[in-house]
Amino acid sequence: MPKLKNPVGWFEIYVDELDRAQKFYEAVFKAKLIPLPSDGSFDALMFPGEMPGSGAMGALMKHPMRGPSLEGTLVYFSCNDCLTESNLVSENGGQIFRPKWCIGENGFIAIVGDTEGNAFGLHSFN
């Protein structure tokens, strides 16, 4: 069996208000989200990146069978310093559930929330 560089290949963050979520994530991560094609049963905006790549690709997803949640799987976004993005989360209507803290040799993390009711993590080595 081939060794996986990163076992996660795709993620979806479910939202109720796609426009509001787009504004929030673009402000926090300073990146333009890309509309994805749809069969009409969902609306999605993809985070920029390349497939295949060294990390997971993903999208904001408005889907009638899924909604935002603070529970369940937690997606971590890589950043230069998770304190910077934590501050942007607060400035853009999100919540800080656990401020930046050290996790030893693996760097730092923070747990935050978006404007839709989702929790997500931030990870950095600074």
DSSP sequence for 65-85: TB---SSS---EEE-S-HHHH
pLDDT in tens, 50-68: 776 677 889 999 999 999 9
Residue 1 lies in a domain: no
pLDDT in tens, 21-39: 999 999 999 999 999 999 9
Residue 95 lies in a domain: yes
Residue 74 lies in a domain: yes
Contacts of 70 (CB under 8 A, 6+ apart): 113, 117, 118, 119
Torsions phi, psi for 23 (to 5 deg): -60, -45
Q: What is the CATH number of the domain that holds 16?
A: 3.10.180.10
Residue 3 lies in a domain: no
Q: What is the pTM of this model?
A: 0.87
pLDDT in tens, 80-122: 999 999 999 999 999 999 999 999 999 999 999 999 999 999 9
Instruction: Count the domains in the chain.
Output: 1
Residue 4 lies in a domain: no
Q: Are 91 and 45 in contact (CB under 8 A)?
A: no
Residue 114 lies in a domain: yes
Taking CA atoms, 77 is separated from 39, 42, 104, in Å, by 28, 24, 18
- Rounded to an integer, what distance in angstroms lies between the CA atom of residue 112 and that of residue 79? 14
Residue 2 lies in a domain: no
Domain containing residue 81: 10-124
